[in-house]
């Protein structure tokens, strides 16, 4: 079945100056990637700051004999706060100003650094860096595919969304009834699903630009697109850490 977004893209490109549209699209994608990279940098700075300071770490983690054993109450609040912000933003996105959307983006990526700091306590620094670069290379290739492919990925996106719901439910079950086999299956599924979502979301961001071209929505579309890619990157990174991470 044809994707209506492709039709929108072709109509806009057919009426408007193609060269100007293409230049605008490239600038839009650069803006998306810059937001995403800045968000990752902020998360990394927060994570490293917590890891480097026992005093700050004690605000979010339960520490026994110098070892982090889990989140405390404030830590759990920080873990679920990004979800709350995303739900609020999703409900009020149309009414929010660009500044408000930017504030939510920086708040989400900053708070994500708290949960990501747990990886630094669990895994060696070398394995974290190695996995990050593997994730970055995979992201680059998958996003490039999503940007350049002529194939309509909308049907794949529906399948990936169902798979995402599946691993969320499976993770909740595994939380209460831990299983090594289930953890492995969830990890494999997570790598595959978020790899697919990187390509799918890149294509979707490219198509959404056609609808926002020449309007004051373009900046908000770029921020929301960056948030989608940021979350895909972070989740892929965390699932890959389960395979490539070396425990301390």
**Per-residue pLDDT reduced to its tens digit, 105-114:** 999 999 999 9
**Residue 129, Cβ neighbours under 10 Å: how many?**
10
**Mean pLDDT, the chain, whole residue set:** 87
Name the residue ranges covered by the structural domains of the chain: 13-244
How far apart (Å, rounded) are the C-alpha atoms in residues 164 and 85? 20
**Per-residue pLDDT reduced to its tens digit, 189-235:** 999 999 999 999 999 998 888 766 555 677 888 999 999 999 999 99
Q: How many CA atoms are closer than 13 Å to the CA of 99, on its beta-carbon side?
A: 0
What is the model's pTM?
A: 0.87
CA distances from 142 to 99, 202, 218 (A): 30, 9, 24
């Amino acid at each position: 079945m044809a994707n209506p977004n492709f039709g929108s893209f072709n109509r806009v490109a057919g009426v408007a100056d193609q060269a100007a549209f293409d230049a605008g699209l490239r600038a839009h994608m650069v803006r998306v990637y810059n937001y995403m990279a800045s968000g990752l940098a902020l998360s990394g700075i927060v994570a490293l700051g917590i890891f480097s300071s026992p005093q700050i770490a004690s605000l979010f983690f339960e520490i026994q004999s110098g070892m982090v054993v889990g989140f405390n109450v404030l830590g759990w609040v920080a873990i679920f706060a990004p979800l709350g912000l995303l739900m609020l933003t999703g409900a009020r996105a149309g009414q929010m100003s660009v500044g408000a959307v930017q504030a939510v983006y920086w708040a989400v990526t900053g708070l994500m650094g708290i949960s990501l700091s747990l990886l630094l306590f669990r895994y060696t620094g070398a394995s974290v860096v190695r996995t990050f670069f593997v994730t970055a290379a995979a992201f680059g290739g998958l996003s490039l595919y999503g940007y350049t492919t002529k194939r309509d990925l909308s049907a794949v996106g529906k399948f990936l969304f169902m798979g995402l719901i599946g691993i969320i439910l499976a993770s909740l079950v595994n939380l209460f009834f831990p299983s090594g086999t289930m953890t492995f299956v969830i990890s494999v599924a997570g790598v595959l699903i978020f790899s697919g979502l990187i390509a799918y979301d890149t294509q979707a961001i490219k198509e959404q630009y056609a609808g926002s071209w020449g309007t004051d929505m373009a900046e908000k579309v770029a921020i929301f697109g960056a948030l989608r890619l940021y979350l895909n990157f972070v989740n892929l990174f965390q699932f890959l850490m389960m395979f490539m991470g070396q425990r301390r």
